Homo-oligomer: A and B are copies of this chain.
Amino acid sequence: MTILELKHDILADNKREAQVIRDALARSGTLMVNLMSSPGAGKTSTILGIAKRLRDKLSMAVIEGDIDSKVDSLKVKEVGVTAVQINTGGACHLDVPMMKPAIDLLDLDMCDLVIVENIGNLVCPADYDIGADLSVMILSVPEGDDKILKYPLMFSMCDALIVNKTDYLELPSNNFNIDRLKERMSTLNPHALIFETSAWLDSGYDKLCAYLEDAILAKKSRSTT
């Protein structure tokens, strides 16, 4: 089982190195969120929804992970938020060696919140610790409520699940049952908070932002004690 052992070693090394990032974030009292989802589930629109509400209340920055292109970091910069782009050039997830230079480009003492938009992938990013305080995943309604059965790791490890594109729940073609999802989630990961958002309706972000603000306050109180 050479390959499995190698994967184990890579993940263990990565976890150990993630502590360096975690220590830096602890010193500055910065909350870092690892935002994960399938491609197109709404990571960037969620960041924009949060930025709209929090950018004048606190200092935030975004680290944009993409295999290629700068499309998303440009969108974030347009709303006046600092954004650092990581292009993985093929890799299906972010890891600590990619994160470190991006973190170095930020003045953490001036950041209350850093949101990391991971590669759009419901599988691999869940395996890699990037030093974040919170793992938040998005599932969009068009993807279907059965994804929790097929991709259980990310659903089981996240601190919060955002169900996005809730406006699609009203479509005649919809077969996403949000109660069924919550029931399955309560068995698999009962501690995860569940938020419901719609970028199109610009709804659901207030609760999500309150959650982030509480977490920032808790982090700051820990960093100063």
Residues in A lying within 8 Å of B, measured CB to CB: 3, 6, 10, 38-40, 66-69, 71-72, 90, 92, 119-124, 140, 142-144, 146-147, 149-153, 165, 167-168, 171, 173, 200
Contacts and interface: CB of A to CB of B under 8 A. Distances in A.
A173 B151 contact: no
* Interface SS majority for chain A: loop
Per assembly, the copies of the chain total: 2
Contact of A150 (B39, B123, B144): B39
18 contacts: A39-B143, A39-B147, A39-B150, A40-B140, A40-B143, A40-B144, A40-B147, A68-B150, A68-B151, A69-B146, A69-B149, A71-B150, A92-B92, A92-B124, A119-B123, A120-B122, A121-B124, A142-B168
Please provide the 7 A-B residue pairs with the shortest distance between their CB atoms, ordered closest to farther. A40-B143, A92-B123, A173-B200, A142-B142, A69-B149, A38-B39, A38-B38
Contacts of A168: 142
A151 to B, nearest CB: 6
Contacts of A68: 149-152
Given A38-B38, A165-B142, A67 B121 contact: no
Contacts of A149: 68-69, 71
